[in-house]
Amino acid sequence: MTLNRFAASILIFPATLLWSQAPTVDRVGFPTNYEALFERLNTFDRSDNRTVRTIYGNGPAASVKADTMNFPYGSVLVMESWRALQTAQGVPILGANGRFQKDPAAVPGLFVMRKERGFGEAFGANRNGEWEYVAYRPDGTYLNRPETTASCATCHLQAGALPDWTFRVRPLYLQEGSGANADGVIKDYEFIPGELRVRADSTVTFYNSDMVEHTITDQTAGGGDTGPLKAGNSVAIQFTVPSEFNFRCTIHPSMRGKIVVE
């Protein structure tokens, strides 16, 4: 009888632990002066929540360029999440380059992850490698204290071990992707959409979401040519006067598309 109750209390113990499996001490540390001291790895417009997100890495983190990513100990990644400038209706106001702009009145969130030997153990079943997480405001106060970072680890688990539990630091995004939202994509040897209508003086961003290189080449003699656009790269093309552009990929001539500038 006594033995049974003892066994029961042991069973409850791990269940209680599951609720709060996160570090209790901040071993990540506020990334003082990250804008000047870290390397800017990637910046992109996130349209679903209308933020401009910039990822910075310190020296060790920025040294990782290979296809398979394995960050050295001492790596620190900072993701600055900044509210985009937008109208009262929540429509982002684009800058001259066709990109979201930071709202100067907003206070960004700083999401930070640090990798050190043995880090992450406190996350238990949700541990992803040797990373620990914390989120700060620029003044050093907490958005997420260590105790509340179980969700960070749980979500980053999705990224998988191959890119070392990171999402957007992969070479595909690191290289030349502009980070703007795409007006058109190139996928599976096709321009999508095949025909695009834009107003004069618009900037159109194309992403190559395919695994191979393609070009966007105007078919009229002397017309514009992007040259080979690598997988994961993007290009912004500005159209100034009303006209019709028929373009194709010079590498795969059956790939054709059209932009009507109205």
User: Exactly one of 21, 128, 166, 202 binds ligand HEC (CB under 6 A); which one?
Assistant: 166
What long-range pairs does 253-256 form, CB within 8 A, spacing at least 24?
Answer: 254/189, 255/186, 255/189, 255/190, 255/191, 255/214, 256/191, 256/194
Which of the listed partners (ligand HEC, Cu ion, none) does 230 bind, with a CB threshold of 5 to 8 Å by partner kind? none
The widest CA-to-CA distance across the chain, in whole angstroms, is: 91
Stretch that binds ligand HEC, among 99-107, 115-123, 161-169, 220-228 (CB under 6 A): 161-169
User: Exactly one of 26, 167, 182, 236 binds ligand HEC (CB under 6 A); which one?
Assistant: 167
Q: Considering beta carbons, is residue 27 or 197 the nearer one to ligand HEC?
A: 27
Q: Which residues bind Cu ion (CB under 5 A)?
A: 214, 249, 251-252, 255
Amino acid in the structure at residue 151: S
User: Exactly one of 22, 113, 150, 261 binds ligand HEC (CB under 6 A); which one?
Assistant: 113
User: Which one, of 72, 81, 126, lies nearest residue 103 by Cα?
Assistant: 81
Q: Considering beta carbons, is residue 122 or 152 the nearer one to ligand HEC?
A: 152
Q: How far is CA 104 from its chain centroid?
A: 21
Q: Is 144 in the site for ligand HEC (CB under 6 A)?
A: yes
Strand order in the sheet with 234-239: 190-192, 184-187, 202-208, 234-239
Q: Considering beta carbons, is residue 131 or 206 the nearer one to ligand HEC?
A: 131
Q: Is 77 in the site for ligand HEC (CB under 6 A)?
A: yes
* DSSP letters for 50-119: TEEEEEEE-HHHHT--SSS--PPTTEEEEEEEEEBPB-TTS-B---TTS---B-TTS--EEEEEEE-TTT
172 three-class SS: helix
Q: Is 151 in the site for ligand HEC (CB under 6 A)?
A: yes
Stretch that binds ligand HEC, among 60-68, 71-79, 122-130, 213-221 (CB under 6 A): 71-79
Separate counts of helices (H) and strands (E) for the chain: 5, 14
Q: Considering beta carbons, is residue 133 or 245 the nearer one to ligand HEC?
A: 133
Q: Is the peptide bond before 163 cis (omega within 30 degrees of 0)?
A: no
Q: Is 255 in the site for ligand HEC (CB under 6 A)?
A: no
Q: Is 114 in the site for ligand HEC (CB under 6 A)?
A: no
Site residue total, ligand HEC (CB under 6 A): 22
Please, are residues 223 and 187 in contact by the beta-carbon 8 Å criterion?
no
User: Which one, of 245, 235, 249, lies nearest residue 206 by Cα?
Assistant: 235
Q: Considering beta carbons, is residue 78 or 261 the nearer one to ligand HEC?
A: 78
Q: Is 46 in the site for ligand HEC (CB under 6 A)?
A: yes
Which of the listed partners (ligand HEC, Cu ion, none) does 168 bind, with a CB threshold of 5 to 8 Å by partner kind? ligand HEC
Q: Nearest 5°: phi and psi at 148?
A: -105, 20
Q: Interface with ligand HEC by CB under 6 A: which residues?
A: 46, 53, 55, 77-79, 111-113, 133-135, 144, 149, 151-152, 155-156, 166-169
